[in-house]
Structure 1
Amino acid sequence: MYTDDIFAIQSEWSKKSMLLMRELLPLMTPVALFDQWTKEEKSTIGYLLAASARSTESLFLLTSYGQLWDAEMVQRAIFEASLKFVFLLESRETFKDRFNDYSTALYEISLLKDDNKVLDVLSLLQKPDDRQWFPLRERLLADEERKRINEKYDKNYRRSLETRWGFTGIIGSLARSEKLFHGLSGLSYGYSVSSHVLHADYLGVTLPIERDSRDHEHRSAVHLAHLNRHISDAFSCLIMRLYAGYRFVGIDTDPIKDAVKKIDALCIPFRKNITDG
């Protein structure tokens, strides 16, 4: 469907993007090693940063082979991890409460939801006590733990917390709170596309087919624009994480400004190629 030139371009753009991302990721070191984190806080921040970096590498591997629609689902993971990181570090005044929400309340609620699903599966089996189902049974909560979590978080509280920590809830909260985050709503389109693809709704399954039905010139131009959006969004998430982290720990943001210049230098040829095409 695509020419050798398109294959070469997507491979080159993705490779250059991955190399620059790897060069810039160490800029997060002062945040990850912040000496005022507790051990648990440092671990959790590290988990989010690792998740973001890992998914970004996966994104570029997919785009290098032109798998842009599957890359949408990985892009969603980058959005989620980045926004949760920014939301956690929005201010020192809210950090402790949000850290407890994320690392304790949401975690325990997730355990309860998974426990209910395992119980549903076991209830469908003729011999749920067989040895082969031990890995499933091992995932079950103890009766006391199940009762404790149910009593600690009623359904209304669970719903409210999950809404607050969802994509729309975080975007809305950050955008309303201060000017720095007003541009975050610009991520909504990419997130919406990834949601369609992930959930395989009608739009999600027809978008790739519609793309392939276009004439060669138009299809190639839109393909490269799509690739450029993936790259741009991945770097936007990195810069968003860096600014939130640097502001929280109180260090100079000049290294981030230098990073933005490098990203712009990387992306200008991409945009020119799309325009010329």
Structure 2
Amino acid sequence: MRLVTWNINSLRLRLPLLEKLVADISPDVVCLQETKVPDPLFPAEALRALGFEHLHYQGMKGYNGVAILSRHPLEPLTNLPVWYEKEDCRHIAARVHGPQDSVELHDFYVPAGGDEPDPAINPKFAHKLAFVEEAAAWFAQRRNARTIVVGDLNIAPLEHDVWSHKQLLKIVSHTPPETERLERWRQTAFVDAMRHFVPPTEKLYTWWSYRNRDWKKSDRGRRLDHIWVTPDLVPELSAMRVLRDMREWESPSDHVPVVMDLVVR
């Protein structure tokens, strides 16, 4: 199974990029974040034309939004939490039924958190911290087996997940209150599948700011996008790629896709 996670930053705007991505790498399952499209306007027919007969999505106008596109049957999970008491389209989940077995797949778009890393004066940062705490508590009380968490988690947890650990320690996405909470969430049940292939001592980014005029030359990236798996799936991991070159495509997202290949039983 070839799995992709990508913050597309507007599905309808970047549908041509998704079409090219699908033609280039033939994914089986694509998890999108920041789709920015309300459900009645979701381009279902265009996605089915790409081979994704099975769709699960939740969106709103102009903001947020998550979607799972699959060539395999999907069984949406119901009764998911309402994170931070907000109905803001940041999490969906489904069982993906393969030919012989299935996996439980969660697609998250964690709040960005604003600019000021102080929850006392920045409600967006308070929202982000509480969201991650709630997610950790929820997964901690579940029986997590054959489970995958993907998405734009909006936190770069490790020293080499950012271009400068020292300079970004007080910048939202790499502050200790965020990284410590994200690690507690991961430790509830999961292995960092990207770092299974790339050692923590090596730089690894999935996002480059639009503000960088020459993003490639400055290379001031962060790893905000993640794939986690439960330990029972680690033997089934076979390859991982960050599609860095897509940051150079015409009208790109500021995030690039992450591709994970699994030999699912």
Q: What TM bracket, shorter-length normalisation?
A: under 0.3
Q: TM-score, normalising length from structure 1?
A: 0.26
Higher-strand-fraction structure: 2
Please tell me whether Structure 1 or Structure 2 has the larger radius of gyration of its CA atoms. 1
Higher-helix-fraction structure: 1
Q: TM-score, normalising length from structure 2?
A: 0.27
Kindly indicate whether structure 1 or structure 2 has the higher relative contact order, using CA contacts under 8 Å at least 6 residues apart.
1
